[in-house]
Amino acid sequence: MIVYLNGKYLPREQAWISPEDRGFLFADGVYEVIHSYRGKLFHVDEHMRRLKNSLAGLKISYSNIPEIREAALRLIQENGLKEDATVYIQITRGTNFPRKHAFPPANTAVTVYVMAYPITPRDPERETGIPVITTPDLRWARCDIKSVALLPNVLAQQQAIDAGVTDAIFVRDSVALEGSASNFFAVIDNVVLTHPKTNVILPGITLDVVLELCRKNNIPHLEKPIYLNQLWTAQELFLSSTTMEVMPIVQVDGRSISGGKPGKVTRKLQTLFKEYVASLP
Amino acid sequence: MIVYLNGKYLPREQAWISPEDRGFLFADGVYEVIHSYRGKLFHVDEHMRRLKNSLAGLKISYSNIPEIREAALRLIQENGLKEDATVYIQITRGTNFPRKHAFPPANTAVTVYVMAYPITPRDPERETGIPVITTPDLRWARCDIKSVALLPNVLAQQQAIDAGVTDAIFVRDSVALEGSASNFFAVIDNVVLTHPKTNVILPGITLDVVLELCRKNNIPHLEKPIYLNQLWTAQELFLSSTTMEVMPIVQVDGRSISGGKPGKVTRKLQTLFKEYVASLP
């Protein structure tokens, strides 16, 4: 497997960074995960736009988006990724010594790391739906920035696994916000709901695709908060993410959702999503 | 400069970690910073106890504290650090591939990184006191765990520097909690106040020393919240940390504190702290 690190294409085993990298010391960096279908990057423009927003949010001076795009495409080729794959991109504020929280000098080179590898499509889970738990949202107040400060997400996902389920939904102020690495939707009164894009959720690329599919297909949809107490009577619940696509939720905290089976609207959106992906050039 | 990485003592330039390290990808790790005075580690037992608590808080399976103590001592020697120095220790949940939030297999080796380097004592600032700003606390809900998910702290410290001051005090729910890398104290009605050790502050080692010095010297002290609106009329304000020791605050958000000079109680605690350090074997 070939990866990209600071201008070089290297075998994965030869890619090394300094432990003084601010990504390692301070979580001072941002990332993106892009789905590659049949060797083509899905919605790469949107991912690049979000990457720019994340960099701007942290005031990391880096604007060489063509470098990232080229690395992503070349890694798909170099690694022969003709089927489902993900491209992972991370940019940190570089290395500085001695360790100091404040930003390093303006001329400090950022660290750019890109990897691409095959993934197994989660079709079986998309067929049956997944069980989840809810968990108090311990995260910071800028969940809209896709930063590598993912420790609360790590703990939430592990909590889900320890509970024997697939994912955890963050709940803050009685609102069910999003999954540990996915956005969250409910179907209530035949309307597809998802949280407005504020500071408490990540503006998901797949979320946008789902909303656009609703729009084009006259499926009623609204961006508004989903309260925890609405989950138990919701017609359907589902998650969206780059790797999950449209993932039905059939159980929350041990309680069955939509009769323990993926709901009709979720099914419809899965089909529309697949068709949309297949339609791309 | 020699550093310690996963069992080896290496020149700093030869220490490399994988970009797949969970410290780099997820901020999935903990750290400690210990002050070394005249080649002796200050309150190393307390730092090791806190390190164990942080590891337990994140469920990182590592208990080889003797390894850490030995590395810290040996780096002080190898690097000839006979005067003021800090030892930085970081332990992450190791490396796993492919990238996945949830914990890696139980037998995954943690990453252990230790460095030690000289620091310049901040005596001039301790003499004059420092200006600070207040900033909304955007951090997560487990500030009591000394994790490397320090991005909000980075942004706060940079915000202070951009404002032309030395540090920023995190304010949450109208309570002034702590600095970007320090604990916070106020002297109000002749009582030294600092926030109770809850989930919203780091349980500082230097904070404990300050409280113990108060105890031994009959200086009235209480652990209770300091409200933002109390700052403007407080007799004195100060910070404590491993590298700052006892640092007077003489300005907050542009307003002068204690007449723009370090206050009496702060001065007394600085003297007691210096005497205490000098008294250690």
SS3 A209: helix
**A31-69 as b/e: b if 16+ CB within 10 A:** bbbbbbeeeebbbbebbbebbeebbeebebebeeeeebb
Matching residue, tokens 């943690």: B110
Q: Which residues of B touch A58 (CB under 8 A)?
A: 151, 155
SS3 B188: strand
Tokens of B164: 């032309």
Is the backbone peptide bond immediately before A98 cis, with ω within 30 degrees of 0?
yes
Distance CA B62, CA B94 (A): 11
Please give the ipTM for the structure prediction: 0.97
How much is the pLDDT for A96? 86
Burial class (CB in 10 A: 0-12, 13-18, 19+), A161: middle
**Contact of B217 with B265, CB cutoff 8 Å:** no
In B189-276 the beta strands, taken as DSSP E runs, fall at 191-194, 221-223, 236-241, 245-252, 255-256
Of the residues B14, B154, B157, the best mutation for testing chain A's interface (the one with the most A CB atoms within 10 Å of its CB) is B154
Q: Measure CA B249 to chain center.
A: 17
- Helix, strand, coil distribution of chain B in percent, nearest 5: 30, 30, 35
**Contact of B32 with B47, CB cutoff 8 Å:** yes
- Helix, strand, coil distribution of chain A in percent, nearest 5: 30, 30, 35
Task: Measure Cα distances from B130 to B37, B48, B121, B208, B247 in Å.
Answer: 23, 30, 15, 22, 7
Tokens of A140: 């910071």
- Record: contact A17-B18, CB cut-off 8 A: yes
**B59-71 as b/e: b if 16+ CB within 10 A:** ebebeeeeebbeb
- Record: contact A138-B141, CB cut-off 8 A: yes
pTM value surpassing 0.90: yes
**Where do runs of H (alpha helix) occur along A2-150?**
22-26, 44-57, 65-78, 123-128
- Record: contact A17-B17, CB cut-off 8 A: yes
What is the DSSP annotation of B123-147? HHHHHH-EEEEEEE----S-TTS-B
Using alpha carbons, select from A46, A42, A49, A114 the residue that is nearest to residue A84.
Answer: A42
**Contact of A134 with A234, CB cutoff 8 Å:** no
How much is the pLDDT for B281? 86
Separation in Å, CA of B117 to nearest CA in chain A: 8
Size of interface A-B (CB pairs under 8 A): 150
How much is the pLDDT for B96? 86
Catalytic annotation present for A146: yes
Which pairs with CB-CB distance under 8 Å and at least 24 residues apart come from B252-261?
A: B252/B131, B252/B132, B252/B133, B252/B134, B252/B169, B253/B133, B253/B134, B257/B231, B258/B234, B260/B129, B261/B129
How much is the pLDDT for A272? 98
Residue in chain A lying closest to B28 (CA)? A151
Separation in Å, CA of B256 to nearest CA in chain A: 24
- Record: contact A19-B150, CB cut-off 8 A: no
Query: For residue B175, what are the contacts with CB-CB under 8 A and spacing of at least 6?
Result: B195, B200, B225, B226, B227, B228
Q: Which residues of A touch B119 (CB under 8 A)?
A: 98
Q: Which residues of B are catalytic?
A: 146
- Record: contact A141-B136, CB cut-off 8 A: yes
Q: Measure CA A6 to chain center.
A: 24
Tokens of A178: 């999003």
Tens of pLDDT along chain B (281 residues) come to 999 999 999 999 999 999 999 999 999 999 999 999 999 999 999 999 999 999 999 999 999 999 999 999 999 999 999 999 999 999 999 998 999 999 999 999 999 999 999 999 999 999 999 999 999 999 999 999 999 999 999 999 999 999 999 999 999 999 999 999 999 999 999 999 999 999 999 999 999 999 999 999 999 999 999 999 999 999 999 999 999 999 999 999 999 999 999 999 999 999 999 999 999 98
- Record: contact A150-B113, CB cut-off 8 A: no
Matching residue, tokens 């949809």: A221
Measure the CA dihedral B100/B105/B109/B112, to 10°: 50
Tens of pLDDT along chain A (281 residues) come to 999 999 999 999 999 999 999 999 999 999 999 999 999 999 999 999 999 999 999 999 999 999 999 999 999 999 999 999 999 999 999 998 999 999 999 999 999 999 999 999 999 999 999 999 999 999 999 999 999 999 999 999 999 999 999 999 999 999 999 999 999 999 999 999 999 999 999 999 999 999 999 999 999 999 999 999 999 999 999 999 999 999 999 999 999 999 999 999 999 999 999 999 999 98
How much is the pLDDT for B37? 97
Distance CA B98, CA A119 (A): 9
